[in-house]
């Protein structure tokens, strides 16, 4: 079975909805801004908790829907406006890279006043360091306005030149009239905030970055400048141990099906999973269908299929034997961390590259939407689960993920940056 699917396309220069992570650490303060996607919030929770546990004061700027999740780490939520509606179909949005990038920019424009107001209040100490996601432009501007250094947090593969990565297709898209308008607005915003010599592309070239992804997921990790990029992985995100899921008794195989939070309008995928595994003796299917698909669309389900709008993914993966995933980076690295082979069905953006990387590591099969049938899925599952070398490969990758250091190493590096800033 081929690992790489047909019709591969990179649709945007950045993954969708980067966590608006504007993190500030120092006295010890960490401010995070995150308006949209759980898949970009969760990788940062472990670092937030680790910094809190070390005695740092952590302020995390976030939209209201994630405030409780952030507060559970011990961080103080700082509410920012949300510009992207909850019911937005991210899969459809990803097909328009200029619109997607413009929306990320508009989220930064909307969030910056809340951040500046917070730090402009009397008695609120400025952070000594700002940690920001690659799409959280407000984090870079906040650091500049406060006169403190910034460190980027990346929750995706690192690409230093996106125009080369896809043979120039992105360059063509981003020379359109809409793209030029976006770039002009971006430069005007930067100039208004005291950064006239900085352009949008400059924000993609960090001085220092922590990649909250496993080094194993970065094909050219050894070629990247270690003085700029450190691969630490995400590690436990703080939910593990609090969320529960119990494996049914006398079940031989547990399959988790989850396409994340933003790419769930895929009833044909769910039907194929039910057809492939439903009623199969000894198999149990945990089926997360999200908020865009109803159970009525799937028809009558066999007794061994357990449907949910949402599942505690980490808790299920701890018991799972197979993971059917859209290959978002969060799910990909959780699959590696728990040692679960994967069938990847990428939907958009960096998910195609993630799926190919998992295949190259020997722990996944890729099935694109047009090829996702019950027969193909069952064949892929059997190939993975019957591979005698699979346990050895998974064990080696689990060890490699642990060796990256996770939140503890990330916090060490953050503290090193703070110490350097203090001189």
Residue-by-residue DSSP string for 24-54: EESSS-----B-S-HHHHHHHHHHHHHHHHT
Query: Which residues, 6 or more positions from 351, have their beta carbon under 8 angstroms from its beta carbon?
Result: 263, 326, 327, 328, 344
Of the candidate ranges 237-251, 260-274, 281-295, 355-369, the one whose mean pLDDT is the lowest: 237-251
Instruction: Return the CATH number of the domain spanning residue range 253-402.
Output: 3.40.50.2000
Q: Which two tokens stand for residue 38?
A: 């759980």
Confidence band for 90, pLDDT divided at 50, 70 and 90: low
Would you state the pLDDT for residue 171? 46
Whose CA is closest to 270, among 281, 260, 258, 279? Answer: 258
Confidence band for 61, pLDDT divided at 50, 70 and 90: confident
Residue 11 has pLDDT above 80, yes or no: no
Give tens-digit pLDDT for 350-406.
899 999 999 999 999 999 999 999 999 999 999 999 999 999 999 999 999 999 999
Confidence band for 20, pLDDT divided at 50, 70 and 90: very low
Report d(CA 381, CA 364) in Å as an integer: 9
Choose from 33-42, 180-189, 195-204, 259-268 the range with maximum mean pLDDT.
180-189
Q: Do residues 264 and 290 lie in contact, with contact meaning Cβ atoms separated by under 8 Å? A: yes
Q: Which two tokens stand for residue 275?
A: 């057809």
Q: Does domain 22-235+405-422 have CATH number 3.40.50.2000?
A: yes
- Find residue 308's DSSP bridge partners: 288
Q: Which two tokens stand for residue 260?
A: 């994340």
Distances (CA, A) of 399 to 214, 317, 394, 396: 11, 17, 9, 5
Give tens-digit pLDDT for 91-119.
666 677 788 788 888 888 998 998 999 98
Confidence band for 167, pLDDT divided at 50, 70 and 90: very low
Residue 2 has pLDDT above 50, yes or no: no
Report d(CA 57, CA 127) in Å as an integer: 9
Of the candidate ranges 109-118, 155-164, 235-244, 245-254, the one whose mean pLDDT is the lowest: 235-244
Report d(CA 149, CA 252) in Å as an integer: 52
Mean pLDDT of the chain: 83
Tell me if domain 22-235+405-422 and domain 253-402 are identical in fold. Answer: yes
Domain boundaries, the chain: 22-235+405-422, 253-402
Give, as one character, the DSSP assignment of residue 240: B
Whose CA is closest to 343, among 231, 248, 235, 253? Answer: 253
**Model confidence, pTM:** 0.86
Residue 25 has pLDDT above 50, yes or no: no
């Amino acid at each position: 079975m081929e690992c790489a699917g047909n019709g591969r396309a990179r649709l945007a220069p950045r993954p969708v909805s980067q966590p608006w992570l504007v993190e500030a650490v120092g006295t010890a303060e960490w401010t995070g801004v995150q308006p949209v996607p759980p898949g970009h919030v969760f990788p940062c929770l472990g670092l937030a908790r680790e910094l809190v546990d070390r005695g740092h004061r952590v302020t995390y700027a976030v939209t209201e829907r994630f405030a409780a999740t952030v507060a559970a780490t011990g961080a103080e939520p700082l509410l920012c406006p949300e510009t992207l509606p909850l019911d937005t179909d991210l899969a459809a949005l990803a097909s328009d890279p200029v619109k997607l990038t413009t929306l990320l920019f508009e989220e930064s424009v909307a969030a910056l006043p809340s951040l500046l107001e917070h730090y402009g209040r009397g008695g609120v100490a400025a952070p000594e360091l700002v940690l920001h996601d690659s799409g959280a432009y407000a984090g870079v501007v906040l650091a500049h306005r406060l006169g403190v250094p910034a460190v980027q947090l990346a929750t995706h593969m690192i690409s230093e030149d996106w125009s080369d990565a896809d043979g120039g297709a992105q360059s063509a898209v981003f020379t359109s009239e809409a793209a030029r308008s976006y770039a002009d607005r971006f430069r005007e915003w930067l100039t208004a905030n005291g950064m006239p010599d900085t352009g949008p592309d400059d924000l993609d070239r960090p001085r220092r970055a922590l990649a909250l992804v496993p080094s194993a997921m970065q094909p050219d990790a050894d070629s990247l400048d270690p003085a700029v990029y450190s691969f630490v992985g995400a590690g436990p995100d703080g939910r593990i141990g609090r969320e529960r899921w119990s494996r049914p008794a006398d079940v031989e195989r547990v399959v988790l099906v989850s396409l994340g939070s933003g790419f769930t309008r895929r009833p044909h995928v769910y039907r194929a999973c039910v057809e492939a595994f439903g009623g199969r003796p000894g198999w149990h299917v945990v089926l997360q269908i999200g908020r865009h698909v109803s159970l009525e669309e799937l028809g009558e389900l066999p007794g061994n299929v357990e449907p949910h709008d949402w599942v505690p993914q980490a808790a299920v993966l701890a018991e799972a034997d197979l993971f059917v995933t859209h290959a978002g980076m969060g799910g990909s690295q959780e699959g590696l961390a728990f040692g679960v082979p994967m069938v990847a069905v990428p939907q958009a953006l960096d998910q195609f590259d993630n799926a190919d990387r998992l295949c190259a590591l020997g722990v996944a099969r890729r099935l694109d939407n047009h090829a996702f049938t019950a027969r193909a899925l069952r064949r892929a599952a059997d190939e993975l689960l019957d591979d005698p070398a699979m346990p050895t490969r998974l064990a080696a990758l689990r060890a490699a993920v642990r060796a990256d250091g996770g939140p503890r190493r990330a916090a060490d590096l953050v503290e090193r940056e703070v110490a350097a800033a203090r001189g």
